[in-house]
Amino acid sequence: MDTADRLKLPPVVMPEQDPTERIHNVREVPFGFTPAMALQEAQRCLHCVNQPCVDGCPVGVRIPDFIRTIESGDYIAGIGIIKQTNLLPAVCGRVCPQEDQCQKSCTVGKTHRDPGQAVQIGQLERFLADWERENHTAVIPQIPPASGKRVAVIGSGPAGLTVAGDLIKLGHAVTVFEALHMPGGVLGYGIPEFRLPKEIVYAEVSYLTRLGVDFQYNTVIGKSLTVDEVRNDYDAVFIGSGAGLPNFLGIPGESLLGVYSANEYLTRANLMHAYDENSDTPILRGKSVAVLGGGNVAMDSARTALRLGALGVTVIYRRSEEEMPARKEEYHHAVQEGVEFSFLQNPLEILGNPDGWVTGLTLQKMQLGEPDASGRRRPLPIPGQTGSVSADVVIVAIGNNPNPLIPAALPSLQMNRHGGIVTNEETMETSVPGVFAGGDIVLGAATVILAMGQGRKAARAIHAWLTKTADLERN
Amino acid sequence: MNTIRKREELGPNVTRYVIDAPLVATHRKPGQFVIVRVSDHGERIPLTIADADPELGTISLIVQSVGKTTREMAMLRSGDAIHDVVGPLGRPTHLQQFGTVLCVGGGIGTAPLYPIAKAMKEAHNHVITILGARTRDLLILEDDMRRVSDELIVTTDDGSYGTKGLVTDAIRALVGGGTHIDQAVVIGPPLMMKFTSLLTKELGIPTMASLNPIMIDGTGMCGGCRVTVGGEMKFACVDGPEFDAHKVDWDSMIRRLGTYRTEEKTAAERCDHECRIGLGTRGPEWILPTD
Ligand SMILES: Cc1cc2nc3c(=O)[nH]c(=O)nc-3n(C[C@H](O)[C@H](O)[C@H](O)COP(=O)(O)OP(=O)(O)OC[C@H]3O[C@@H](n4cnc5c(N)ncnc54)[C@H](O)[C@@H]3O)c2cc1C
Ligand SMILES: Cc1cc2nc3c(=O)[nH]c(=O)nc-3n(C[C@H](O)[C@H](O)[C@H](O)COP(=O)(O)OP(=O)(O)OC[C@H]3O[C@@H](n4cnc5c(N)ncnc54)[C@H](O)[C@@H]3O)c2cc1C
Ligand code: SF4
Ligand code: SF4
Ligand code: FES
């Protein structure tokens, strides 16, 4: 097929659960491509020589190369290409903000002057990964002889899983310590089932277990074991403890009954399965739910609230639709499902009844001023214009900060102003020798692929460090 | 999985468990707690570490059956296992030689109070303990407490044992009789803690209380355990559980404990029924990554 023909092919429409149906279940929304759909979508790729899409991917997945294998039908080769740089394609294919990364600079989208026309790289990545999982073709790689070195990984989020996977394949012994009773970090407790089935996360973890990674759940480093004990027992340490510290607004009423942080709400729903009537963990099933914030976390909370039976869900965001940091796809899914959006409104106070239950919010109407440091136009209050909305559940989804548990337990770690660990950008080494860090604990709340990218860098540097110390011991 | 080594009924609906948890046993300090999940569909609930044996690698928990999870736990026998135990969580008690320390325990609060009283004694304090219970049958750990206290006073609401009255009456009597108290520790039902701390504030006795809000993760991730202390929001699982009792917003804390009252009632009723007919509720099967 020549370029002109390829450019004529329309994007394959991803089949999805109907919105009216899906708000009554927690099953995944998009069904995924069939092989025929994947082939058709793969044929839209022009195999550009300059590969702008690869530059857009934070870990540099060899995109045209893997897409070519879909055309040729050699899926096993394709998954191998992806996994060279991305350990969790089934996850990234689903949750990467592709429209801002690989797909943003795709030549096809550019040619049509419509980013929506770009090759659906994420969906193709997901297709191959799902095919591999469903056909049990994941190959157990040849693992080199044991190096005799032991690495401790703190946290089983995407950063920690990447480090574990890379280092076990290099012959090092790896133990992952996880505070919760289940693995995955935000992939497990935060991102909802309907967007990322937990089965996928657990399949990835089982794969690592088969490779020999030792997972220790219910182990909080800094509490169950001190950081120093871990440092003494292991030759190197990777901290991937994430950004699990929820922000609150600091406005009156946040202690009222029915006010949740998004983390608590999503943890109850996902990790503890509160959406299932048989689960022992309760959750308030609000009839009218207000979600404060405009990111992915807010979208996930709003859509979860619908699935828990809310009759009305409103996302309240202080800037306008344009500035909203949530992925476009999530925003559209939320709109389709009936989530309402109230833009340019800033919560001033959460209101309650005499028994302490939340009843609603007072909102300040905003307008957009000059761009701020983030490049987005700064929201400013319009004097005298306030209003109110009613709600029986309020979810505060205004972001998370790095989890302070490990830094508090290792005071010699150098930290930045935002509570993140300071690292060498190339090696992810911290101010403490032999201790590396990556993911949200370094970046603040970022993305899965950036966490994995840092994990990969750290794994490389840890391997070098272990090899160097092994050489020193030998001489 | 954490095996139950020993199980002992301390009173109506109060059970002591000795459980394998080697890392917790060697790392815990007085005032800290664990979070347990009884079964694979269970809720995560916080429980104070009442005691520990680092050599045997065991900890003891003293649990009052109040709702679904604690009742399910009560059905376990020696040799059974608790699905998950994580800890030690929270900050340890601030221990020092204060002089005379008054330990006030109400109901099941005596369980978390015991390790603190013991540690206060070991820190060379003169320990006076007041234990309050509604009635004699509900009094727990009297002997253990007596062993670690220089003086022990028991009050019961109905006068069936010790002096009739509330712990606050006993505190007034003690101070009225000329006893000087340098520091008080109070643990018990939230209302009892509230009134005790109002009194000690009036009497000018520095007081710490161990708070028991609803928790999930216990690592500062969910914010569900937030309490207001001195006008600031604190997460009890990482900033506490002990706080300056005089600065705690008790009313807000007590209200928040009632968040799931309706849900808890339904769950307990369901448990009552199913426990009796020997079913037990089952959740969906979740694939555990243990290949
Ligand atoms: C609701 C929600 C939706 C999101 N949606 C998207 C999305 O669509 N796309 C995207 O790219 N990103 C998304 N993100 C962001 C993304 O999930 C994170 O950037 C990513 O998970 C960070 O990975 P991590 O490995 O650094 O940490 P985490 O995933 O946070 O994992 C850290 C792990 O460390 C454990 N831990 C912490 N402290 C300790 C300790 N002391 N001892 C032992 N274990 C410890 C924690 O329990 C946790 O399991 C979302 C985030 C949230 C909250
Ligand atoms: C740091 C900490 C330490 C604790 N230590 C102990 C301990 O050593 N022994 C012990 O028996 N209990 C302790 N608790 C309380 C224990 O966690 C609860 O009793 C338990 O979660 C109840 O679960 P359930 O499903 O059985 O009952 P639910 O169905 O959840 O509740 C039944 C009844 O108990 C009340 N309740 C629920 N949660 C709490 C709570 N956190 N505190 C007080 N009342 C509550 C409810 O309002 C309701 O009336 C502690 C709590 C905290 C936060
Ligand atoms: S990892 Fe993410 S950014 Fe990279 S190619 Fe895959 S979907 Fe695109
Ligand atoms: S930019 Fe688009 S068309 Fe070009 S190689 Fe990448 S995916 Fe294919
Ligand atoms: S229990 Fe979740 S933050 Fe304390």
* CATH code for the domain of A338: 3.50.50.60
Query: What are the pLDDT digits (tens) for A431-441?
Result: 999 999 999 99
- Asked whether B271 lines ligand 2 (CB < 6 A), one says no
Task: Indicate whether A143 belongs to any domain.
Answer: no
CA distance A329 to chain B (A): 26
Count the Cβ atoms, other than its own, within 10 Å of residue B1. 9
Summarize the confidence of residues A396-414 as an average pLDDT.
91
Task: Indicate whether A57 belongs to any domain.
Answer: yes
Distance, CA A9 to ligand 1 centroid (Å)? 38
Answer yes or no: do A280 and B217 touch at CB < 8 A. no
Query: Quick one: DSSP state of residue B14?
Result: E
Count the Cβ atoms, other than its own, within 10 Å of residue A141. 12
B221: left (phi over 0), alpha (psi -120 to 50) or beta: alpha
pLDDT over threshold 50, residue A336: yes
Cis-peptide, bond into residue A158, ω within 30° of zero: no
Partners of A312 in the β-ladder:
A288
pLDDT over threshold 80, residue A282: yes
Among B215, B233, B256, residue to substitute to test ligand 5 (most atoms within 8 Å of Cβ): B215
Counting the structural domains of chain A, the total is 3
Cα A92 → chain centroid: 8
Name which of A50, A82, A52 is nearest A65 in CA terms.
A82
Partners of B47 in the β-ladder:
B34
Task: Indicate whether A140 belongs to any domain.
Answer: no
Q: CB-CB: which of B43, B228, B287 is closest to A272?
A: B43
Q: Could you tell me what percent of chain A has a pLDDT over 70?
A: 100
Q: Where are the beta strands (DSSP E) in A319-396?
A: 340-342, 345-352, 358-371, 377-390, 393-396
User: Average pLDDT over chain A, rounded to whole?
Assistant: 93
- Asked whether B233 lines ligand 5 (CB < 6 A), one says no
In b/e form, how buried is each residue of B247-264, taking b as 16+ CB within 10 angstroms?
A: bbbbebbbbbeebbeebb
pLDDT over threshold 60, residue A288: yes
Q: How confident is the model at residue A471 (pLDDT cuts 50, 70, 90)?
A: confident
Residues of A in contact with B255 (CB under 8 A): 257, 355-356
Same structural domain, A220 and A184: yes
Beta strands at B226-229 and A377-390: parallel, antiparallel or unpaired: unpaired
Q: How many CB pairs under 8 A join A and B?
A: 143
Angle between helices A121-134 and A75-85 (to 10 degrees): 110
Task: Indicate whether A144 belongs to any domain.
Answer: no
Task: Indicate whether A142 belongs to any domain.
Answer: no
Same structural domain, A301 and A389: yes
- Cα–Cα distance, B128 to A445 (Å, whole number): 49
Instruction: Determine contact, residues B74/B43, Cβ cutoff 8 Å.
Output: no
Per-residue pLDDT, B289: 34
- Cα–Cα distance, B202 to A35 (Å, whole number): 76
CA distance A66 to chain B (A): 29
Residues of B in contact with A280 (CB under 8 A): 41-43, 68-69, 267, 281, 283
Per-residue pLDDT, B281: 35
In b/e form, how buried is each residue of B166-187, taking b as 16+ CB within 10 angstroms?
A: bbbebbeebbeeeeebebbbbb
Per-residue pLDDT, A354: 92
Residue A38 tokens read as 């994947």
Answer yes or no: do A405 and B222 touch at CB < 8 A. no
Domain boundary among A361, A396, A431: A396
Backbone angles phi, psi at A69, to 5 degrees: -70, -25
Same structural domain, A424 and A293: no
Residues of A in contact with B228 (CB under 8 A): 255
Q: Where are the beta strands (DSSP E) in B195-283?
A: 207-210, 226-229, 232-235, 242-244
Distance, CA A245 to ligand 5 centroid (Å)? 9
CA distance A51 to chain B (A): 38
Place of tokens 């221990």: B95
- Burial degree of A460 (CB within 10 A; 0-12, 13-18, 19+): middle
- Burial degree of B138 (CB within 10 A; 0-12, 13-18, 19+): buried
Residue B206 tokens read as 């520095």
Domain boundary among A135, A170, A196: A135
Helices and strands (H and E) in chain B: how many? 9, 17
Per-residue pLDDT, A131: 95
Task: Indicate whether A145 belongs to any domain.
Answer: no
Same structural domain, A327 and A353: yes
Q: With the CA atoms of B117, B122, B128 and B130 taken in that order, what torsion angle do they form, in degrees rounded to the nearest 10? A: 20
Same structural domain, A353 and A254: yes
Answer yes or no: do A405 and B219 touch at CB < 8 A. yes
Same structural domain, A112 and A21: yes
Query: What are the pLDDT digits (tens) for A180-200?
Result: 999 999 999 999 999 999 999
Q: Could you tell me what percent of chain A has a pLDDT over 90?
A: 84
Same structural domain, A231 and A303: no
Place of tokens 């009497």: B203
Domain boundary among A396, A415, A448: A396
Query: Quick one: DSSP state of residue A380?
Result: E
What is the model's pTM? 0.93
Same structural domain, A237 and A357: no
Q: Which residues contact residue A176 at a Cβ distance below 8 angstroms, ignoring those fewer than 6 apart?
A: A153, A154, A155, A156, A160, A161, A164, A183, A208, A213, A214, A215, A216
Residues of A in contact with B24 (CB under 8 A): 224
- Cα–Cα distance, B79 to B225 (Å, whole number): 32
Give the domain extent around A324.
248-396
Which SS3 state, helix, strand or coil, does residue B170 take? Answer: helix
Low-confidence ranges of chain B (pLDDT < 50): 277-291
Answer yes or no: do B284 and A276 touch at CB < 8 A. yes
Per-residue pLDDT, B41: 85
In ligand 1, which atom is closest to the CA atom of A300?
A: 1
Residue B147 tokens read as 């062993």
User: Which chain B residue's Cα is nearest to A406?
Assistant: B219
Give ipTM to 2 decimals: 0.91
Partners of B100 in the β-ladder:
B126
The answer to whether B44 faces chain A, any CB pair under 8 Å, is: yes
Residues of A in contact with B87 (CB under 8 A): 220, 223-224
- Cα–Cα distance, B234 to A121 (Å, whole number): 44
- Cα–Cα distance, B264 to B155 (Å, whole number): 30
Q: How confident is the model at residue A267 (pLDDT cuts 50, 70, 90)?
A: very high
Same structural domain, A334 and A232: no
Query: What are the pLDDT digits (tens) for A40-76?
Result: 999 999 999 999 999 999 999 999 999 999 999 999 9
Summarize the confidence of residues A256-262 as an average pLDDT.
96
Q: Which residues contact residue A436 at a Cβ distance below 8 angstroms, ignoring those fewer than 6 apart?
A: A163, A236, A237, A238, A239, A423, A427, A428, A429, A430, A458, A461, A462
More confident residue, A12 or B137: A12
Q: Which residues contact residue B67 at a Cβ distance below 8 angstroms, ignoring those fewer than 6 apart?
A: B264, B267, B268, B271
The answer to whether A44 faces chain B, any CB pair under 8 Å, is: no
The answer to whether A284 faces chain B, any CB pair under 8 Å, is: yes
Same structural domain, A339 and A261: yes
- Cα–Cα distance, A328 to A454 (Å, whole number): 25
Task: Indicate whether A128 belongs to any domain.
Answer: yes
Name which of A256, A283, A259, A253 is nearest A271 in CA terms.
A283
Per-residue pLDDT, A475: 67
Task: Indicate whether A350 belongs to any domain.
Answer: yes
Same structural domain, A38 and A98: yes
Same structural domain, A107 and A235: no
